[in-house]
Chains A and B, each alone.
Chain A
Amino acid sequence: MPKLLKDIKNLVRGLGITGKHLGRHAITIQYPEEKWTMPERSRGIVVLLSDKETGELNCTSCMLCMRACPTGAIRIDAPRGEDKKRRLISFVVDNGICCFCGLCEEACNFCAIKMATKYEFSTVNKDDLVWDMRKLQEMGRDVDYVDTRKKKPARADVAGPAGPASSSEKKPPADGQPGPDGAGQDPKTEGEA
Chain B
Amino acid sequence: MDGLRTEEFVVNMGPHHPATHGVCRLMLTMDGERVMRIEPVIGYLHRSLEKICENRTYAQCIPILDRFEYVTSMSCNQAFALAAEKLAGIEVPERAEYLRVIMLELNRIASHLIFYGVTAMDIGALTPFLYGLREREGIIDLFEMTCGQRLTYNYIRIGGVSKDIPAQFVPQCRTVLSTIREKLHDYEGLLNENPIWLVRTKGVGYLAPEVAIAYGVSGPVLRASGVNYDIRRNDPYSIYDRFDFQVAVRPNGDCYDRYLVRLDEIKESIKIIEQALDGLPDGPISAKVSPNFKPPPGEVYSRVENSRGELGVYIQSDGGKKPLRVKTRGGSFNQLQALPVFGTGGLIADLVAIFATLDVIMPEVDR
Contact = CB atoms under 8 A, between A and B. Distances in A.
Within the complex, are A and B direct neighbours (CB within 8 Å)? yes
A27 B130 CA distance: 11
B186 A166 contact: no
Interface residues of A, number: 37
Interface stretch (A53-61, A94-102, A139-147, A175-183): A94-102
B60 A168 contact: no
Interface string B60-73: 11111011000000
A165 interface: yes
Interface in A47-98: 68-70
B341 interface: no
A18 interface: yes
Nearest to A167: B286
A127 interface: no
Nearest to B64: A70
Given A17-B186, A103-B154, A166 B159 contact: yes
B149 interface: yes
Contact of B291 (A11, A70, A99, A165): A165
Interface string A149-164: 0000000000000111
Contacts of A128: none
Contacts of B194: 10-11, 14
A166 B289 contact: yes
Contacts of B157: 166
B290 A192 contact: yes
A70 B144 CA distance: 21
B60 A70 contact: yes
A164 B148 contact: no
B148 A115 contact: yes
Contacts of B67: 99
A100 B64 CA distance: 11
Nearest to B60: A70
Contacts of B189: 13-14, 17
B37 to A, nearest CB: 35
Interface in B272-294: 285-286, 288-292
B285 A164 contact: no
Contacts of B60: 68-70, 103
A69 to B, nearest CB: 8
A126 interface: no
A148 B134 CA distance: 38
B132 interface: no
Interface in B121-171: 127, 134, 141, 144-149, 152, 154, 157-160, 162-164, 166
A67 to B, nearest CB: 9
Contacts of A68: 59-60
Given A11-B195, A164-B289, A103 B145 contact: no
Contacts of A14: 189-191, 194
A132 interface: no
A39 interface: yes
B291 A164 contact: yes
Contacts of B163: 41, 168
Interface residue tally of chain B, by bracket? 35 or more
B56 interface: yes
A190 interface: yes
B73 to A, nearest CB: 11
B7 interface: no
A124 interface: no
A68 B321 CA distance: 13
B190 A193 contact: no
A120 to B, nearest CB: 16
Interface in A100-115: 100-103, 106-107, 115
Contacts of A70: 56, 60-61, 63-64
B3 to A, nearest CB: 44
Contact of B148 (A39, A166, A192): A39
B314 to A, nearest CB: 20
A138 interface: no
A192 B59 contact: no
Contacts of B148: 39, 41-43, 102, 115
B353 to A, nearest CB: 18
A168 B292 CA distance: 17
A179 B166 CA distance: 35
Given A13-B189, A17-B189, A70-B56, 18 more contacts: A6-B193, A11-B195, A18-B190, A39-B148, A42-B144, A42-B148, A70-B64, A101-B62, A101-B66, A101-B154, A102-B147, A102-B148, A163-B291, A164-B288, A164-B289, A166-B291, A167-B288, A192-B292
9 contacts: A11-B196, A41-B163, A102-B154, A103-B60, A162-B291, A163-B291, A168-B162, A192-B292, A193-B288
Interface of B: 56, 59-64, 66-67, 127, 134, 141, 144-149, 152, 154, 157-160, 162-164, 166, 186, 189-191, 193-196, 285-286, 288-292
Interface of A: 6-7, 10-11, 13-14, 17-18, 27, 38-39, 41-43, 68-70, 99-103, 106-107, 115, 162-168, 189-193
